[in-house]
């Protein structure tokens, strides 16, 4: 079934870190990356027309975080997959390992 799915390109555009806070922009990128879709068929792009250092730094941090967040979402079938939504509504979800939860927080 997955072989029949088309490739998907998702573009997130931003221009001004004061009007579009990097936390929200990066949350959008992470949410897209966490879609229940074959990772090899999903490409997510961030276009920062303002060339903000703050957005770049946030993206670098999100890249490191995504290496933990995406497998965590898949393993525990997390919904919604937006980090901000998840952490604001789940202070202590029942997990098999408190170490995994600490890694996410």
**Which residue reads 């941090």 in tokens?**
61
Token output for 56? 């770049």
Token output for 82? 């937006």
- Structural element, H or E, at residue 98: helix 98-104
DSSP category for residue 6: P
pTM of the predicted model as reported, rounded to 2 decimal places: 0.76
Binding residue numbers for UDP-alpha-D-glucose? 19-20, 49
- Structural element, H or E, at residue 43: strand 42-48
Cβ neighbours around 35 below 10 Å, total: 15
Helix (H, G, I), strand (E, B) or coil at 99: helix
Q: What are phi and psi of 22, to 5 degrees?
A: -55, -35
pLDDT by residue for the chain (105 residues), tens only, comes to 667 899 999 999 999 999 999 989 999 999 999 888 898 999 999 999 888 999 999 999 999 999 999 998 888 888 778 888 887 776 665 555 656 656 655
Binding residue numbers? 19-20, 49
């Amino acid at each position: 079934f997955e072989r029949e799915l088309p490739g998907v390109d998702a573009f997130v555009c931003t221009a001004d870190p004061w009007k579009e806070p990097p936390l929200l922009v990066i949350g959008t990128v992470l949410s897209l990356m966490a879609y229940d879709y074959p990772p090899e068929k999903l490409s997510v792009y961030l276009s920062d027309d303002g060339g903000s250092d703050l957005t770049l730094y946030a993206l670098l941090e999100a890249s490191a975080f995504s290496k933990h967040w995406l497998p965590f979402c898949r393993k525990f079938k997390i919904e919604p997959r937006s980090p901000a939504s998840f952490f604001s509504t789940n202070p202590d979800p029942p997990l098999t390992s408190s170490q995994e939860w600490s890694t996410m927080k």
